[in-house]
Amino acid sequence: MQQSRRNFIKSTAVLSAGLAFGMNAKSYGRIIGANDRLNFAIIGLNGRAGAHLKSIGTCSNVNISHVCDVDSQVLSKFSGSVKQQFGYSAVEIKDFRKILDDKNVDVITIATPEHWHTPMAVMGLKAGKHVFVEKPSSHNPREGEILVEAQKKYGKLVQLGNQQRSSDFTISIVEKIKNGLIGKPYFGKAWYCSQRKSIGVGKVIPVPDYLDWDLWQGPAPREDYKDNFHPYNWHWFQKWGTGEALNNGTHEIDICRWALGVDYPKSVNASGGRYHFKDDWQFYDTLVTNFEYDDKLITWEGMSCNSKQTYTGGRGSMIVGTEGTVIIHRRGYQVFDIGNKLLDELKLENENSTMDHLSADSSTDAHFKNFVNGIRNGEKLHSPISEGNISVTMLLLSNIAWKVNRTLSLDKENHRITNDAEAMKHWSREYEPGWELTI
């Protein structure tokens, strides 16, 4: 009783002192939970970083210790968002390597341009950090192999940002499919459509004084700065991005693969092109790709510049079986019998359809909670990198099939491209000297 009274007096004194200096309840919680608090650093602050911030805030006993971006304007603005949401200021960092050197940082989240995802994740693992990395987790298939190997070597957790794996209703309907809801599932059709505008023809201009262009490029070979690269259009340049198939197709292809219970296909083919505009965009704006298995098939159809919706919306997955069909999307699902009669339906009217750059939703909240629980108490991750990398690599292979304009056959053991030396040249990439990727 004396010890309890002493602790009560001590806690009350700390709280009173904090309130006297303007400390809010969240700040006080940081003090009393410091022993098992997880310190997060968010790296790459455009787009999905805002969803990271929101979702981390739904987890218990966490702290945003650092925020990092090579764009000082974005860094300052995002830092203000941290203070607004959490009631305290995070340390602002331009060079992420300083974060890796800080032993107090437990977790890094990566929402940078895609050419940074694997190099930064591997460096984080080497530094003893857990990693949450946005999709696609790699820029090329070899990076995916390296990231999986690094996670195994260093033992920290890596969760891929395909948040629908943590959606309660998606988990439920996929489980029902696996238990025979539509008989034997054999075909998965995924789609995405948008109405992206032309990026024009860029002009070489001086690098803005608020942007560290050299560090932005990092492991990628150097290129002069143009006025249509930053902050978003890098997605459509092959040195840094991976095109719409990886930018958005990763989610729905992953749902198809999950529901059908398959991993790597035996072959991949893809057809498409840049049809809508003539500009600097280096990928397709329209693509149809097929992933073939012995007794199953997955397809993805992407239209970046025409938003004519298919089925229930601008994106989704349709799982076809011997006794019916299920359509799964971000706002629910529909179940049909073999005669196309609607048997069951779930509609979440308020859920985000993730057709924007932020894509903050309840699935992302659940995905971060699963990640935090995995770190704290060993809860099984919904998308560990060993699993998520399969979906990412499949779509990277569809990019390669598109580039070489032919079907790729895969080795059953290592899942690499067989008997096609030209296609295998795209398995990895050229790195800026000094930035070569090692485990």
CA distance 361 to 167: 10
Do 31 and 128 sit in the same domain of this protein? yes
What is the DSSP code (8-state) at residue 18? H
128 in a structural domain: yes
Tell me if 88 sits within 8 A of 67, measured CB to CB.
no
Closest C-alpha among 305, 60, 43, 291 to residue 189: 291
> Which residues are CB-contacts of 90 (< 8 A; sequence separation ≥ 6)?
64, 65, 66, 67, 79, 82, 83
160 in a structural domain: yes
For the four alpha carbons of 262, 264, 267 and 272, in that order, the dihedral sign comes to positive
pLDDT (tens digit per residue) in 56-83: 999 999 999 999 999 999 999 999 999 9
Rg (CA), the chain: 23
393 in a structural domain: yes
Per-residue tokens: 261: 């219970």
* Residue 245 CA neighbour count, 13 Å, CB half: 32
State which amino acid sits at residue 417.
I
Do 140 and 50 sit in the same domain of this protein? yes
Do 23 and 86 sit in the same domain of this protein? yes
- Judge if the upstream peptide bond of residue 384 is cis by omega within 30 degrees of 0: no
CA distances from 127 to 143, 220, 432 (A): 18, 22, 22
Do 91 and 216 sit in the same domain of this protein? no
Closest C-alpha among 95, 100, 67, 60 to residue 81: 67
22 in a structural domain: yes
Do 140 and 186 sit in the same domain of this protein? no
Residue 211: phi and psi, rounded to 5, are -120, 130
399 in a structural domain: yes
Number of domains in the chain: 2
pLDDT at 351: 54
Do 120 and 202 sit in the same domain of this protein? no
Closest C-alpha among 174, 175, 169, 162 to residue 371: 162
CA distance 82 to 90: 7
Do 230 and 85 sit in the same domain of this protein? no
pLDDT at 6: 46
Asked which of 164, 184, 203 is the last residue of a domain, the reply is 164
Strands 158-160 and 130-133 come out as parallel
What is the DSSP code (8-state) at residue 286? E
Asked which of 108, 133, 164 is the last residue of a domain, the reply is 164
Question: 7-34 b/e with 16+ CB inside 10 Å = b?
Answer: eeeeeeeeeeeeeeeebeeeebbbeeee
CA distance 215 to 408: 35
State which amino acid sits at residue 155.
G
CA distance 361 to 166: 11
Residues of the chain under the 50 pLDDT cut: 1-25, 27-29, 32, 353-357
Per-residue tokens: 169: 């209703």
Do 401 and 265 sit in the same domain of this protein? yes
429 in a structural domain: no
Do 120 and 177 sit in the same domain of this protein? no
Residue 374: phi and psi, rounded to 5, are -65, -40
pLDDT at 45: 98
For the four alpha carbons of 389, 392, 394 and 400, in that order, the dihedral sign comes to negative
Do 406 and 389 sit in the same domain of this protein? yes
Closest C-alpha among 350, 317, 300 to residue 177: 317
435 in a structural domain: no
DSSP 3-state of 103: coil
pLDDT (tens digit per residue) in 144-186: 999 999 999 999 999 999 999 999 999 999 999 999 999 999 9
Length of the chain: 439
CATH number, domain at 83? 3.40.50.720
Range of the domain at 157: 2-164
Annotate 167-207 with three-state secondary structure: CHHHHHHHHHHHCCCCCCEEEEEEEEECCCCCCCCCCECCC
* Distance, C-alpha 1 to centroid of its chain: 50
Do 86 and 211 sit in the same domain of this protein? no
Question: 297-320 b/e with 16+ CB inside 10 Å = b?
Answer: bbbbbbbbbeeeebebbbbbbbbb
What is the DSSP code (8-state) at residue 349? T
Asked which of 110, 131, 164 is the last residue of a domain, the reply is 164
DSSP 105-158: --EEEE-S-GGGHHHHHHHHHHTT-EEEEPSSS-SSHHHHHHHHHHHHHH---E
Do 180 and 239 sit in the same domain of this protein? yes
CA distance 407 to 242: 19
Neighbours of 271 (CB within 10 A): 13
Per 3-state DSSP, what percentage of the chain is helix, strand, and coil (rounded to 5)?
40, 20, 40
pLDDT at 403: 98
CA distance 327 to 255: 11
CA angle, residues 264, 269, 274, in degrees to nearest 5: 125
* Distance, C-alpha 162 to centroid of its chain: 5
CATH number, domain at 210? 3.30.360.10
